[in-house]
Amino acid sequence: MAYQAVTIKAGKGGFGGPLTLVPTDTRNKVVSVTGGGIHPVAAKIAEMTGCPAVDGFSTGVPDNEILVAIVDCGGTARCGVYPKKRIFTVNVLPVGQTGPLARFITEDIYVSAVDASCISFADASAAQAATPKAGTPTNPTSAPKTKAQAKEEIAKMNEGKPKNLATRIGIAIGGIVNKFYAAGRETIDITIKTILPFMAFVSMILGIISASGLGDVIANTISPIASTLPGMLIVSFICAIPFISPVLGPGAVIAQVVGTLLGVQIGLGNIPPQYALPALFAIDAQVGCDFIPVGMSLGEAEPETIELGVPAILYSRVITGPIAVLIAYVFSIGLYS
């Protein structure tokens, strides 16, 4: 089948790119991991390249068949999972190098803030110059080694060598120090690039709500619902509906903003404090639902496992969400008396 190469550039406020996608007979799937079916950007890329578009939430695709992954990640792990695998990644949100996998998000494999206007047919010279960077081993002349093979080779290399106790202790201590150093560096990096900007965002939202008088409207709307157990169960059920939960999940932004608003109302006395714990589980029923197919893929699950596992987990949230609220309600009895 004849495919067309396309070039994707970053949109306004975006990062990375431009990416030139050259489909082949083996690598030709446009995977949409956005929730709610095929994203318009994924549909546009599929239409222009002649490749099939696949909903990553309902169909598992082996990594070596993915031409490009379309995500709508606000800066959590999902935007870095596919770049870590060296799979071309298109983020429809204006997100740059952020999250725990930020070091894998590079301009040659990732582009963000993409809409339909950012996609164009690649000219012949760009398509010819495009190298198979994504998903290809650095040494194509030899097959990649498995972990077992690599361990076996290392064991053979070390076989017969004298074991120096002092050397082994030094190496072990050095490894521990390096791990703590790396953990500290990544913690500071995530705090500066992810946590602090979100804290500033929430502060701005609360300031706007307080100054505009919208807080009174929210209080009058949310307080009656969040002040009763049936209301909490309804909120949990709505958040866990399978076709809604993946849309509410990205970045956990919705849950965090609503949680902050509920905290303010509890502090003002509009909502009894014993409903704080049930409220937490009610608004968090959808957390992680956008990451389910990516997490399974990261765990090297089979495509059939992903196809069955994603709907199974999504539907299970409809049951476990309200149950979690009930359990939290029971444990909160007498907690604040």
Euclidean distance between CA atoms 87 and 81, whole angstroms = 9
**Tokens representing 76?**
């959590």
221, 249 in Cβ contact below 8 A? no
SS3 at position 121: strand
Rounded Cα gap, residues 254 and 260, in angstroms: 10
Q: Is 79 a catalytic residue?
A: no
All residues at 6 or more sequence positions from 211 whose CB lies less than 8 Å from its CB, including other chains: none
Contact between residue 6 and residue 131 where contact means Cβ atoms under 8 Å apart: no
In whole angstroms, give the CA distance from residue 13 to residue 26: 33
Strand partners, 31: 54, 69
CB 55 within 8 A of CB 297: no
Exactly one of 51, 73, 118, 239 is catalytic; name it.
73
Residue 50: CA count within 13 A, CB half-sphere: 10
User: Which residues carry out catalysis?
Assistant: 73
